[in-house]
A and B are shown apart, each in its own frame.
Chain A
Amino acid sequence: MAAKVLIYQCSYCSYLTFDLLSQYKVSLQDNIFLTDLPCTGTISVNMLLEAVENGFEKVLVLGGTGNDCRFLKGSQRAQKRVEEAVKILREIGYDKASIAFYGLKPGDVDSLKNILNTI
C-alpha cells in the first residue's frame, strides 16, 4: 500500500497554486490528502505529530516565502514548528515518517510540481 501523505496548504499562497495544478495536467494518487488552514502558522507541533501517529508517512506543510505571507510571519512560524517536530522524531528515533516545510510563491506551479515529484 502506498505511503499516506498529508499536505497542509495555507489559504493565501499554496491553495491558489494547488487550484492551478489541474490546468497543467497534473494528477495525484489517492494516497495524498490535501487540507487547508488559514495560515500555516496555525499548525502546531502537536498536529504534526498526531498525523505521524495516525500513520501518515509524509507530512508536508506548504506555505509562503519571505514577505509574501499574508499574515506576515505565519510561514516562518510554521517552518520553526516543522523543525521542532522533526527534532522530536529524531530524538525518539522514529524514522518511518518525514515532515517538511516548503515555501512557495502564489501561483508557482513549477515549484509545486517539483515538490510533488519528490513524494
Chain B
Amino acid sequence: MKTGYYPGCSLHSTATEYNESVLAVVKAINDEVKEIEDWNCCGATAGHSTSAELALGLPLRNLMLAEKEGFEELLVPCAACYNLFKTAQFEVAHGQKQDLVADLEHQLGLTYQNKINVLNFIEYVLKPENIEKIKKLIKRPLGGIKVAAYYGCLLLRPHNVVGFDNPERPTKMEKLLEALGASPVRWSAKNECCGGSQALSKPELVVRLVNNIVTNARDNEAELIVTACPLCQANLDGRQINWDFPDQNKQLLPVLYISELIGYALGLPAEKWFAKHLVPPSLKA
C-alpha cells in the first residue's frame, strides 16, 4: 500500500475523536493507511522552539522511517505535525543541516530521497478519486447547514514551505464542504490565530482570540465551525465557555473536526466522537 499514516501524539490522546473519525472515513471509502512503525513525537511547539536539531531531527526521523517502509504518501492529520514535516522537507531540499541528515541516514541505514508526499487530511480527501467516492456515499445530507471553515495558522503558513492553499484567503476546505452539501459561510477570521499553545501559558490571551473568531463566525450566521487542527479544536471548543464579555449572547458554537463532519455525512456512527466535545454538536448523531 502506498499511504502511510502518522497520527502524532495528540491523535492518540486529546484528539482521539480526530483519529477515529479519520480512520473511519478512510475505511468507508475503501482505502487503507498504515501507521508508521516506531514513529516518534514530531516535537510540536516544545521541540522546535528549544533546539534547531530537534526541530529538524524529530520530524525527519519519521519521514525517513516512512520512506524506509516504502510509502509514497504520508497522511498527517494534525496541523502542527504536518507543518513540521513540511518544514523538514523544505530544509533538506535546500541543503540545510546536512550533517544532521547524514547522521540520521547512517543511523537508520538508508539514503533519504525526500520525495515522500506529505498530505494533510483536507488534501487527502480532496484527491479526485477520494472526493468522488465520498460524494457517492453520502447518507446523511447536510442540508445546507452553515459551516465556518477554520484553517488557523499552521496549515497555511509559511506559504513557501507549506504550499497548501492561499495563505491569506484559503478556499479548499470550503470546496470540500460544498461537496458534502453544506453551505460554507463567508467570514473574516478563518485564518486568524487561535492562540495555539499559549492556552497553557497565557489563557486570557487565548480566550480573547477565541472570542474574536467565534463571534465573527456567529455574526456571519455559522451554525458550527470545522477545523483540521487538534489544538485549534481544543481552544475553540474549550475556551468559548470561559469568556465573560458583556455584550455577547451566550449561544455557543460547536467545533468539529472536518473528518467528523465527513463521517457524519457518510452515515458513520458519530456518538463516540461527539461525546468528546465540550460544546455539544447540534447534529443528531
Question: Do A and B touch (CB < 8 Å)?
Answer: no
User: Which residue numbers of A lie inside 8 Å of B, CB to CB?
Assistant: none
